[in-house]
Structure 1
Amino acid sequence: MTILSRRHIERNGELLISTEHFGLALFGSQFLAAAATILFVVWGIGWQTHPNPAVFENWTGTSWHFYVDNFISEIGLGLTVFTIVWLRDATWESLGVRRPNLSIPSILVAVATAYIVLHFLIGPVSLSLWKYCLSFFGINLTQGYGDVDPLQWEVWSLRQAAGQIGVWGAALFVFCVGVLVPVFEELFFRGLILTALLERTSAWGALVSQAFLFAALHIDFIRLPYLIALGLILGYLVKRTSSLVPAVLLHILVNVISLTSVID
């Protein structure tokens, strides 16, 4: 009997997540996210068939809109997880929403060590590797960025967004992108995706696969090696501790420190 012919299969007491239900849940949640994004854009430029060109240009030139659109998509990832749990293809505990099997001091040391490695080793190496590739192939990516260095474009964009939304808006921005986004992404990638892969392939195959999927979602070639390494470390923390808690803490730490250092 194939996996898709049943709602789920139990293996050693654990529920095997249905590929069929996962596809439907992901499609449905991202469809809702796309619809919400469209409504957000239409509301911003006015409910007109032919909006004022000046209004449309101002809308497309505002940096924070891009991050709102992305945040809506991240909510869609969280909705996918909620749907899978609602369909009873998995439980919150089976997805890692439980106490870690390590002590609190051990978790804090692991999270701090992982952040230091990411920030002082993997980050600089990733940027240097990208610069070397650009130089080796003679690629010029300055077109479309104006006077902004493409390697610093995201930093510039975040500063622009912070300047457009004020102090309280920036605080809300840090909360949404720095705290909520990591929670949604960890539930989806290290909770749902990693759990499903571990039930279908080897541990290393599952860790590598979810890391590459995590990096691909961000569509950021400049930070691609860094994102893959981050995905591997987050996945390993979940596998080692049998909990999403350490990965969520590390992910929040990475995002919040990056944001506050940019928009301060």
Structure 2
Amino acid sequence: MADKEANLTTQTPPLAPGSAFLTYMESGFPQIAGWPGQPSSVIFMAHFKELFERHGVTGGACEIGVHHGKYLIALHNILAPARSLGIDVFDDQDKNVDGSGKGSYDLTRAYVDSFVADPDSVALMSKDSLTLNAADQAEILAEYGRFAFFSIDGGHTAQHITYDFFLASELTSPYGIIAVDDMFHPDWPGVTEGILAALATRRSPFVPLFLTRKKLMLCHFSVAKPYHDFILGICRDVYKFDPTMVTLCGHAIPSLNFGSEY
């Protein structure tokens, strides 16, 4: 286990030095408050840019539960020059019913302006995700198209997670990735309860792809096999180890250990 953890925490940049993403990871990421996981687990996500390009995916990132934008900026900079969207109750904390994080619109906007090459390509929406309806979804699709990355990190109740997952399923490209934060976290059992309940309905075409200590990543069922093979290839060819395989909801998926991520 120690050798695998050491391999994964070796930061092997999949993007060229000087890219907006790597510049942000070196200088901006450490400055912003938030809990997106180890830098190495965030850097690992940049490998998917190659896969997205292979499938002609041009969408940006969307995140529900932005906090101060730490993870959203990283995902956006991987996908730039695509357009991205952050959704959060921000300063309307009366709607933060479970106290999961405390977003700030002004801080997030300032960090986006500082660490995104084209700040106008990232929009922020002050909204409770539970109030987003079919008309709102259609408006988002018309404005942004389908997203390549969709991060779910808003309300941590089972109700929030289930609703946000089905919303993400509608707004994410069939070649995209959905990330569910705080999976199996002992302080937030609603996350695990909510996503397992959602997956059990089989209403979404998105299925488990891989786990970290902090997040569950999901992809469209139709690309699960090639995406699974891609991840195993990255682990073996870049990080030089075979990941531990686990079974979740009937899917055998890699469990990647980036060390303590909370």
The structure that is strand-richer by fraction is 2
Same fold? TM cut 0.5:
no
TM-score, normalization by structure 2: 0.27
TM-score, normalization by structure 1: 0.26
The structure that is helix-richer by fraction is 1
Higher RCO by CA contacts (8 Å cutoff, separation 6 or greater): 1
